[in-house]
């Protein structure tokens, strides 16, 4: 049997819609400078789908730092993995600055958040250890756990009572195996925008013996007084044993880091396969990240501006009767009821007729009958952008309620 045969008959849960969604909903091309106004299929759109929370992606100082570093070092430098020939003082400086910022003893740079998290989990755990994790954990956590050959227990999203029950089960198992327990959750959940219950979980340390790892991809730069993250926001940074965040959101770059006690970071430096067997982050990414971190720390007004937009958008949506769930962060999901075809048609209508570009998810990413339009406010949006979007959403909701997207809507040429 040719393994390609099965691909011909089944393209996978999302791939089955390739003809309907490719080059439009999936793999769309946004063109022009990264901003709140970009071109989609030749038309200017107001963009609400970039995780450019603090507006650093196209910040002149960031652009200059990136291009100066590329001109000076090229993209190849340094050659080799960190452990072999890819070490530089700039990589070490960035690690020191992240460690200080996160109030941890040490930090280690990772080439990608996704791979980094998979590898952290893989390197920390053995068959005797047990993991307790949130059901809505990001794919990088789930995929890391696929490599774990010991037991794991999932608890329903943010359900601390169930988390406690899982800790009881885990404790019984490690008493037999002699292993340890790792609890994993997120600082801010990227789809729903609610925060992980870090405080409650840290509190469970009084009853159970475990280590706590968080993925704070959406919390770094957006949460806490100084932007340190969700640990700072909830006053429990000390109780987080391993802090992880990516550069893909507020840092508007590529790469990630993990911060912890020095002996833990030393262990990770020598044992994480994603770093040992992969080339070091190129110099422009590292020098560019130093500049981004400097701006993140020294310009609290970017975060303030972000929240002016967040508050206007979220309160405006609520006032107009939209269900935005329990978001406690800039991530703004708008929950609607409808079928996949309706979700698709809403996206088309918003893009073609209102000039609004946002991400839409329907089944199979979320349960059948649920549509989520996810908006990501940033520090560079304006209150006029918010007003324009609220008006458009009210019209779209009216059409959805009247079944317009099932019956009258003239589908885009793709479908
Ligand atoms: C919660 C979370 N963790 C990890 C990642 C992966 O990070 P990266 O894009 O750096 O691979 C993302 C997405 O970027 C994310 O949203």
Residue 138 CA: nearest ligand 1 atom is: 1
Spacing, Cα 139 to ligand 1 middle (Å) = 9
User: What average pLDDT does this structure show over 77-85?
Assistant: 97
Q: What is the mean pLDDT of the chain?
A: 95
**Which of 161-175, 302-316, 397-411 shows the lowest per-residue confidence on average (mean pLDDT)?**
397-411
- DSSP for 54-109 reads TS-TT-HHHHHHHHHHHHHHTTTPSPS-TTTT---HHHHHHHHHHHHHTT-SEEEE
Q: Which atom of ligand 1 is nearest to the CA of 255?
A: 10
Asked if pLDDT for residue 161 goes beyond 60, the answer is yes
Q: Are residues 338 and 277 in the same domain?
A: no
Task: Please state whether 351 falls in left (phi above 0), alpha (psi between -120 and 50) or beta.
Answer: alpha
Say if residue 317 is in the same domain as residue 199: no
The residue with greater pLDDT, 344 or 260, is 260
- The boundaries of the domain holding residue 136 are 60-298
Picking from 298, 332, 354, the residue at the C-terminal end of a domain is 298
Strands (E), 174-323: 181-186, 211-215, 242-246, 256-260
CA distance 247 to 220: 9
What's the gap in Å between 413 CA and the centre of ligand 1? 33
Indicate the pairing of strand 359-361 with strand 370-375. Answer: antiparallel
Same domain, 69 and 27: no
Q: Determine the atom of ligand 1 nearest the C-alpha atom of 256.
A: 10
| Number of domains present in the structure of the chain | 2
**pLDDT exceeds cutoff 60 at 410:** no
Separation of CA 191 and ligand 1 centre (Å):
12
User: Given this model, what pLDDT does residue 130 score?
Assistant: 98
Same-domain check for residues 224 and 279: yes
Residues 281, 347 within the same domain: no
What does the pLDDT read at residue 406?
A: 85
Domain harbouring 191, CATH code: 3.40.640.10
Q: Predicted confidence band at 411 (pLDDT cuts at 50, 70, 90)? A: low
Length of the chain: 415
Per-residue pLDDT, averaged over 389-405, amounts to: 93
pLDDT score recorded for residue 178: 98
- Ligand 1 centroid–CA 113 distance in Å is 5
Burial (CB count within 10 angstroms: exposed 0-12, middle 13-18, buried 19+), residue 57: buried
> Does 294 have pLDDT greater than 70?
yes
217 touches ligand 1 (CB under 6 Å)? yes
Q: Tell whether ligand 1 has an atom less than 6 A from the beta carbon of residue 112.
A: yes
Reduced to 3 states (helix: H, G, I; strand: E, B; else coil), residue 290 is helix
Pair 213, 76 in one domain: yes
Q: Give me the pLDDT at residue 414, please.
A: 41
Atom of ligand 1 nearest to the CA of 190: 16
pLDDT of residue 368: 87
d(CA 351, CA 44): 9
Residue 103 shares a structural domain with residue 148: yes
The residue-averaged pLDDT of 58-83 equals 98
The pLDDT assigned to 415 comes to 39
Mean pLDDT of 14-25: 88
The answer to whether 65 and 287 have CB atoms below 8 angstroms apart is yes
Q: Is 256 in the pocket of ligand 1 (CB under 6 A)?
A: yes
Boundary (domain end) residue, out of 298, 313, 328: 298
Asked if 253 and 363 sit in the same domain, the reply is: no
Residues 132 and 92 in one domain: yes
pLDDT tier at 316 (50, 70, 90 boundaries)?
very high
Would strands 43-47 and 242-246 be described as parallel, antiparallel, or unpaired?
unpaired
Residue with the smallest CA separation from ligand 1 atom 3 is 217
Which tokens go with 276?
């040992």
Same domain, 203 and 318: no
Identify the pLDDT of residue 366: 82
For residue 139, give every residue at least 6 positions away whose Cβ sits within 8 Å of its Cβ, in sequence order, or none.
114
User: Which range, of 1-15, 244-258, 381-395, averages the lowest pLDDT?
Assistant: 1-15
Find out whether the beta carbon of 215 lies less than 6 Å from any atom of ligand 1. yes
Q: Pick the last residue of a domain from 255, 272, 298.
A: 298
Does one domain contain both 351 and 384?
yes
Whether 116 and 247 share a structural domain: yes
**pTM for this one?**
0.96
Distance 411 CA to ligand 1 centre (A): 33
- What per-residue confidence (pLDDT) applies to 363? 80
CATH of the domain at 305: 3.90.1150.10
- Tokens representing 335? 């929950």
CA distance 48 to 373: 10
């Amino acid at each position: 049997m040719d393994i390609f045969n099965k691909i011909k008959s089944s393209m996978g849960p999302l791939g089955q819609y390739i003809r309907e969604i490719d080059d439009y909903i999936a793999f769309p091309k946004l063109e022009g400078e990264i901003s709140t106004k970009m071109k989609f299929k030749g038309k200017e759109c107001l963009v609400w789908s970039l995780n450019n929370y603090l507006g650093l992606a196209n910040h002149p100082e960031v652009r200059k730092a990136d291009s100066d570093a590329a001109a000076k070092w090229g993209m190849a430098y340094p050659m080799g993995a960190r452990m072999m020939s890819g070490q530089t003082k700039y990589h070490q400086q960035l690690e020191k600055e992240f460690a200080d910022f996160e109030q941890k003893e040490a930090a280690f740079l990772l080439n990608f958040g996704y791979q980094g998290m998979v590898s952290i989990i893989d390197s920390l755990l053995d068959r005797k250890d047990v993991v307790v994790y949130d059901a809505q954990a990001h794919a990088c956590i789930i995929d890391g756990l696929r490599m774990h050959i010991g037991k794991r227990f999932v608890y329903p999203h943010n359900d601390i009572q169930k988390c406690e029950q899982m800790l009881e089960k885990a404790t019984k198992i490690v008493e037999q195996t002699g292993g340890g327990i790792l609890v994993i959750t997120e600082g801010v959940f990227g789809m729903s925008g609610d925060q992980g219950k870090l405080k409650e979980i840290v509190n469970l340390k009084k009853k159970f013996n475990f280590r706590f790892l968080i993925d704070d991809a959406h919390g770094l730069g957006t949460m806490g007084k100084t932007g340190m993250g969700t640990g700072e926001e909830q006053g429990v940074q000390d109780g987080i044993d391993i802090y992880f965040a990516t550069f893909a959101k507020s840092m508007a770059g590529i790469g990630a880091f993990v911060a912890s006690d020095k002996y833990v970071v030393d262990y990770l430096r020598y044992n994480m396969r994603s770093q040992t067997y992969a080339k070091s982050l190129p110099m422009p990414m590292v020098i560019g990240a130093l500049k981004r971190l400097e701006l993140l720390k020294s310009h609290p007004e970017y975060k303030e501006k972000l929240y002016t937009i967040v508050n206007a958008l979220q309160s405006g949506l609520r006032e107009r009767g939209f269900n935005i769930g329990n978001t406690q962060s800039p991530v703004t999901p708008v929950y609607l009821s409808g079928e996949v075809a309706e979700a698709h048609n809403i996206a088309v209508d918003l893009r073609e007729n209102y000039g609004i570009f946002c991400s839409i998810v329907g089944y199979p990413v979320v349960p059948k009958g649920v549509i989520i339009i996810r908006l990501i406010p940033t520090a560079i949006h304006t209150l006029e952008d918010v007003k324009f979007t609220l008006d458009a959403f009210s019209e779209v909701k009216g059409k959805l309620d009247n079944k317009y997207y099932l019956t009258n809507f003239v589908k885009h040429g793709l479908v």
